[in-house]
Each structure stands twice: as C-alpha cells, then as structure tokens.
Amino acid sequence: TGFNEGIAHPQGAKAFSGKTHQCYGQQFVSQVKNGKLNVVHRTAIADGIYEPETDYTKQSL
C-alpha cells in the first residue's frame, strides 16, 4: 500500500507496511550553499525498507 505525493502528503510518496504499521518515505540530504537550502540527494523509498520483526496484523484487537 502506498501514498502519492500531494497536498495530503507534501513530504513525498510513502509506502505503508501493515505488519509494522509504519510508513516509509524518501530521505533528503540537503546542503546550505550561498544562503540557500539545496537538496543534493534523495534516497529511494526501497532504500529504507527493512524486514519486519513483528506482524501486528496477526494480533487480536
């Protein structure tokens, strides 16, 4: 499941893992140069995803 970048998600697209009830998004590396903040690198969402150690979807409410 995922969310696209837009007004509701201005930080960018996200991928949601129901097993951990966590969203993963892009990470931004920025640099201030000549008084301006510049994005110098964006990671892919997949770079931050890891195998879940638990599965909340199997727990009772």
- Res 55 pLDDT > 90: yes
DSSP class per residue in 17-47: ETTTTEEEE--EEEEEETTEEEEEEE--GGG
Angle (CA) 17-19-20 rounded to 5° is 75
Per residue in 7-48, pLDDT (tens digit) is 998 888 999 999 999 999 999 999 999 999 999 999 999 999
pLDDT of residue 61: 82
Q: What global pTM score does this model have?
A: 0.70
**Residue 58 contacts by C-beta under 8 Å, 6 or more apart in sequence?**
none
Write down the domain spans for the chain: 2-52
pLDDT of residue 11: 87
pLDDT of residue 1: 79
